[in-house]
Structure 1
Amino acid sequence: MKKYKFYANVIKEEQWLNEQLQAGYKCTNISSWGNYTFEQTNEKYVMRLDYQDYLSTHRFEEYKEIYEEFGWMHVKGSRFGSIHYWQKISDNRDDMFSDRQSKSNYYKRLMNYSLTFAIFFLVISFIIYDGNPLIVKELYLTQGLWEMEGSLFWKAFLFETPFVLLRLIPILILFVSAIQFYMSYMQYKKIKEELSR
């Protein structure tokens, strides 16, 4: 079974993947373009996502070996700073980060990942929108569109609207990244407060 989804929010992506696994599937492949491949199974699987910054070849192999010793299978992720997808048969020890300090470190890495995405798409948005991303008229590039009347206006307007929606994707990703940063920050802050008690 193949499903196509795009997530900018790692937490939501993990929730969705686990919903698929609970329905009796296991994940066999994840492409960079949102193509998820599943196969039916009688086992109950669980998936966890982790973000890691750039790792040397040696550190990357160590990172994988540590989790593989605990039964996790590395589905996807590279050593060049990416989200790593880990899957295993559920055995009531399904949390990758068992102590508060490792959870705190995870949310700190997730904050950095989200912030990087947000800054990148903020810069892209300013380049694309020339500093005016929310002025709807500026997003429609058809000459004289707003002076047209009747059916000619509606044909031109409806024709260009899908392209306008595509131009809004950087703003959407910026918004989702900012929300993910905020959610990660709140979790990080909560765990830090628990650790300081």
Structure 2
Amino acid sequence: MKRYKIFFDIEKEEQWLNEQLQKGYRCTNTSGFGVYTFEKTDKKYVMRLDYQDYLSKKKYEEYKGIYEDFGWHYINGSWLGGIQYWQKEDDNQNEIFSERQSKSNYYKRLMGYSSSLCVLLLFVSYLLFKDSGLYLTEGLWSMEGSLFWKALLFETPFALLRLLPALMLVFFGFSFYKAYRKYSMLKE
């Protein structure tokens, strides 16, 4: 079974994948484009997601080896960084972060990821809006009648696309804030 779903929150993605496991569907593969492959299973599994920054190939193999030594099966990820997908049979030792410090480091990595995306999106938003407004049609606001409405309706999808980086900036800013709060709580 294949399912298509896009997530911007790693914790919500993990929760959704575990809900699929409770329904009896084990994840066998994921793609960067939101395609998840599942197979029916009778066993109970648990899935955990981790975010890692760039790791050399040697460190990445060590990272995978540590998890596999504790019974975790690697589903997907990349040594270049990003979300790492881990799954194992449910044995009541289902956390990948065994201590407070490793969980704190996880949230610190998520904060770095979110803040770097915020900076990138802020730059893109600046480039899109520095010389013009949201609507680019010349004389749009001085048009009258049906000509105005036709031009406005035609231009609106493009204006929304130009607005997308700014909206994503707000979203990733919120993601940074959530990770920061959890990081701060663990540091106390």
For the criterion TM > 0.5, the same-fold answer is yes
Alpha-carbon distance in structure 2 between the residues aligned to 1:9 and 1:47:
15
Counterpart amino acid of residue 182 in structure 1: Y
1:93 and 2:93 equivalent?
Answer: yes
Change (3 A) 1:187 1:39: same
Question: Residue 167 of structure 1 is aligned with which of 162, 166, 172?
Answer: 162
Counterpart amino acid of residue 168 in structure 1: L
Alpha-carbon distance in structure 2 between the residues aligned to 1:144 and 1:2:
48
1:26 and 2:21 equivalent?
Answer: no
Alpha-carbon distance in structure 1 between the residues aligned to 2:158 and 2:31:
25
Alpha-carbon distance in structure 2 between the residues aligned to 1:31 and 1:37:
9
Alpha-carbon distance in structure 1 between the residues aligned to 2:76 and 2:11:
16
Alpha-carbon distance in structure 2 between the residues aligned to 1:157 and 1:57:
52
Change (3 A) 1:38 1:169: farther
Aligned to 1:135: none
Task: Give the secondary-structure state (helix, strand or coil) at the position aligned to 2:88.
Answer: strand
Deviations 1:69-105 (A, max 9, x none): 2222222211112221112222222111121111111
Which runs of 5 or more residues in structure 1 are unaligned? 133-137
Alpha-carbon distance in structure 2 between the residues aligned to 1:183 and 1:131:
33
Aligned to 2:152: 157
Counterpart amino acid of residue 171 in structure 2: V
Aligned to 1:186: 181
The TM-score with structure 2 as length reference comes to 0.89
Alpha-carbon distance in structure 1 between the residues aligned to 2:66 and 2:170:
35
Change (3 A) 1:127 1:38: same
Q: CA deviation at 1:59?
A: 0.8
Task: Give the secondary-structure state (helix, strand or coil) at the position aligned to 2:81.
Answer: strand
1:141 and 2:136 equivalent?
Answer: yes
Which runs of 5 or more residues in structure 2 are unaligned? none
Counterpart amino acid of residue 151 in structure 1: S
Alpha-carbon distance in structure 2 between the residues aligned to 1:35 and 1:130:
36
CA RMSD in angstroms, aligned pairs only = 1.9
Q: CA deviation at 1:21?
A: 2.5
The TM-score with structure 1 as length reference comes to 0.86
Task: Give the secondary-structure state (helix, strand or coil) at the position aligned to 1:62.
Answer: helix
Alpha-carbon distance in structure 2 between the residues aligned to 1:154 and 1:45:
55
Q: CA deviation at 1:159?
A: 2.5
